[in-house]
Amino acid sequence: MQLSLNGQVALVTGGSSGIGAAVAEALAKAGAAVAINYHSSAEPAEELAKRIQDAGGRAIAVGGDVGDEAAVQALFDRTLEAFGRLDILVANSGLQKDAPVADLSLEDWNTVINTNLTGQFLCARAAIRQFRQQGRDENISRALGKIIHMSSVHEVIPWAGHVNYAASKGGVNLLMRSLAQEVAAEGIRVNGIAPGAIATAINEEVTGDEAKARELLKLIPYKRVGHVDDVGNVAVFLASDLADYIVGTTLFVDGGMCLYPGFEDNG
């Protein structure tokens, strides 16, 4: 069996930058047509779509806030209009609004939960409805459809100063596993990816500062910050038939961050 996504259509939310952009590009390289969703800045998403087209692939950029029910419907409608079907959803949109808990506003709590958790629910629900409607085509994939929830190591590692973010990712874990349990019998594979520290805009304050980056490496047994392609590669594998028996699992892409690195030197 080959690692090919030929003939498949993927929707990647939050695909205009960082991990989402790398995932979109990797899926396109593996043969999928890709709808690249962005929230506010169209230009990078359109540039990425153009780059994929120039390389012989199929891609469109589609705006829309994943936390807004009507916008999610429009996003799926637009994807189907362009490509006629959907095989892979990568629910990737996510953001951080960090503050010590006593200073954390309700607004920043709600913003993070709305995008990171409610947005993943809305997109997964729309994808499941679409998979059911279009039916299975074994020439395209063994599964009826695939959903990948972009989580974080903070679905298991508590994170002081980031309770909204950690709560959203903990929620993503049980959203993903409960959904996987609910729809597996129909042939829908729901899984998650939990990146650790990946060099993107979300954490450039740390990765871009030498002293802070040195401190960060103490938390990574593999002793390097991740690259967005580390996540893109895993998304391609999880979406492909090579991963056909992987159901309801989170793949951690974290250089070992979850291995209690504080115990590295015998504790």
The owner of tokens 């936390």 is 67
**14 sits near ligand BGC (criterion: CB under 6 A):** no
The full length of the chain comes to 267
Q: Counting Cβ atoms within 10 Å, is residue 4 exposed (0-12), middle (13-18) or buried (19+)?
A: middle
Among the listed residues 153, 188, 235, 243, the single contact to ligand BGC using CB under 6 A: 153
Q: Give the span between the Cα atoms of 83 and 27, in whole angstroms.
A: 15
Site for ligand BGC in 182-201 (CB under 6 A): 196-197
- Minimum CB distance to ligand BGC smaller for 80 or for 258: 258
Q: Give the span between the Cα atoms of 267 and 247, in whole angstroms.
A: 35
Least separation, in Å, of the C-beta of 87 and ligand BGC? 26
- Minimum CB distance to ligand BGC smaller for 34 or for 197: 197
Question: Is position 165 annotated as part of the catalytic site?
Answer: yes
Comparing every residue's Cβ against ligand BGC, the nearest one is 152
**203 sits near ligand BGC (criterion: CB under 6 A):** yes
**92 sits near ligand BGC (criterion: CB under 6 A):** no
The owner of tokens 């909204």 is 164
- Minimum CB distance to ligand BGC smaller for 22 or for 61: 22
Among the listed residues 146, 149, 154, 177, the single contact to ligand BGC using CB under 6 A: 154
Structure tokens of 170?
Answer: 């903990």
Catalytic: which of 165, 222, 245, 260? 165
Strand runs (DSSP E) across 21-144, as ranges? 33-38, 59-63, 88-91
Least separation, in Å, of the C-beta of 53 and ligand BGC? 30
Least separation, in Å, of the C-beta of 154 and ligand BGC? 5
Which residues, at least 6 apart from 128, have a Cβ–Cβ distance to it below 8 Å? 145, 147, 179, 183, 188
Which range binds ligand BGC by CB under 6 A, 50-58, 61-69, 127-135, 147-155?
Answer: 147-155
Instruction: Find, among 82, 22, 5, the residue nearest to 233 by Cα.
Output: 22
Instruction: Find, among 14, 42, 7, 4, the residue nearest to 148 by Cα.
Output: 14
95 three-state secondary structure? coil
Among the listed residues 152, 168, 173, 250, the single contact to ligand BGC using CB under 6 A: 152
- Which residues contribute to the site for ligand BGC (CB under 6 A)? 96, 152-154, 196-197, 202-203
